[in-house]
Amino acid sequence: METEFTEKDFYAQHFVPKQYLENYYCFRSGKDAENSLLTTCLQNLHKVFSLDGIKGDTLIDIGSGPTIHQFLSACESFREIVASDYTDQNREEMQRWLRKEPDAFDWSPMVQYVCELEGDREKWARKEEQVRRAITQVLKCDVTLPNPLAPLTLPPADCLLSSLCLEGACKDLSVYRSAVRNISSLLKPGGHLVLFGVLEETFYMVGQHQFSCLYLEQKDVEEAVREAGLRVQWVKEARMQFSPSVSDLKGVFTLVAQKHCS
């Protein structure tokens, strides 16, 4: 059965960052699927930024949500990170962590995991401070706008990162393709786009509320990226499954593409 599309106002009213983080971002026993999604994401971002050597001055993250895990490898490769999200509560939740407030989410298990990938688990406290220094702005974004960061206009970025955002924000494939074009406009020629997302999912739960997800196959993502004027460098898919009461996803993908030099 097709899930009714979750409109922006519903996100603004009912998306609770603390519940989302508790559901999907806690390393713990008995949450094998969620742990697998996280480790797959962190391993692939480690490959992108630490092993493949994608680097530059500025990285813009589109649809950051209330999370910072996506910056743990990127902060080694970029001097400045601009985070962004549509909802006020997600941006505020990230700011709590940046300000080191007592009720901020504890990211240390994931920070330690990435530090272990990098060869020194004990540097995790320094890594957290490095992420805090790197994030210079937390902005509002809307991927359905030609300039997703309007009314601001930022200089084109060296890298654009987006994780688990577009499939939630887009009603159909036409809107998804437009959104990929929109966010790609923030990228300088020769810059890199890094996408991490879910495959064959129509919904996910946060607390008692159901949120829609655009059903995507890998070919849909690649076609949208190519139509936006980028060359796919590599894409990797991993199959996984959550409890049917949580989500109906069938897998995740990581894609790296480069914007054509005009």
Question: Averaged over 107-128, what is the pLDDT?
Answer: 95
Predicted confidence (pLDDT) at residue 31 exceeds the cutoff of 90: no
Q: What is the predicted pLDDT for the residue at 3?
A: 80
Predicted confidence (pLDDT) at residue 155 exceeds the cutoff of 90: yes
Q: What is the predicted pLDDT for the residue at 215?
A: 98
Indicate yes or no: pTM above 0.85: yes
Q: What is the predicted pLDDT for the residue at 212?
A: 98
Predicted confidence (pLDDT) at residue 17 exceeds the cutoff of 80: yes
8 A C-beta contact, residue 204 and residue 215:
no
Question: Averaged over 66-90, what is the pLDDT?
Answer: 98
Predicted confidence (pLDDT) at residue 214 exceeds the cutoff of 70: yes
Which of the four pLDDT bands, split at 50, 70 and 90, describes residue 112? Answer: very high
Beta-carbon count within 10 A of 202 CB:
16
Whole-number percent of the chain with pLDDT over 90: 92
CA gap 232, 234 in Å, rounded: 6
Question: Averaged over 80-94, what is the pLDDT?
Answer: 98
8 A C-beta contact, residue 135 and residue 161:
no
8 A C-beta contact, residue 255 and residue 225:
yes
Beta-carbon count within 10 A of 174 CB:
10
Nearest to 229 by CA among 257, 256, 254: 257
CA gap 86, 168 in Å, rounded: 11
8 A C-beta contact, residue 42 and residue 34:
no
Q: What is the predicted pLDDT for the residue at 34?
A: 75
